[in-house]
């Protein structure tokens, strides 16, 4: 079974993504901030991750940067309600 991480501080978004992904047969781990996402990445391998850019404690962009520095190559889908060109370019480069 494919494993997916969902990291978003908005409970409704987390629940929606989790429900949809489980319905499609994925094993889903969901967390509400970037700090917890980093902790989870230290102990588990995921086939895919959804990271919200704006989260408390550590942003999704920073989570992406740190996991790439650690050599984690999990594909990441960045989600945000506040899109900017700068964020798009920065995340695409990682």
**Domain holding 51: CATH number?**
3.40.50.2300
- Output the six-digit token pair for 91: 């995340």
User: What is the Cα–Cα distance from 65 to 62, expressed in whole angstroms?
Assistant: 5
Residue (of 65, 13, 20, 67) closest to 44 by Cα position: 67
Mean pLDDT across the stretch 12-23? Answer: 96
As a whole number of angstroms, the distance between CA 35 and CA 73 comes to 19
Tens of pLDDT, residues 38-59: 999 999 999 999 999 888 889 8
Helix (H) or strand (E) holding 90: helix 85-93
Residue 29's domain comprises: 3-93
Tally the domains of the chain: 1
pTM here is: 0.85
């Amino acid at each position: 079974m494919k494993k997916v991480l969902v990291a978003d501080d908005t409970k409704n978004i987390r629940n929606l993504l989790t429900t949809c992904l489980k319905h499609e047969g994925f094993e889903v781990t969901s967390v509400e901030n970037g700090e917890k996402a980093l902790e989870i990445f230290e102990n588990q391998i995921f086939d895919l991750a959804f990271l919200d850019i704006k989260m408390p404690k550590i942003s999704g962009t920073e989570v992406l940067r740190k996991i790439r520095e650690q050599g984690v190559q999990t594909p990441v889908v960045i989600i945000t309600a506040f899109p900017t060109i700068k964020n798009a370019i920065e995340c695409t480069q990682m």
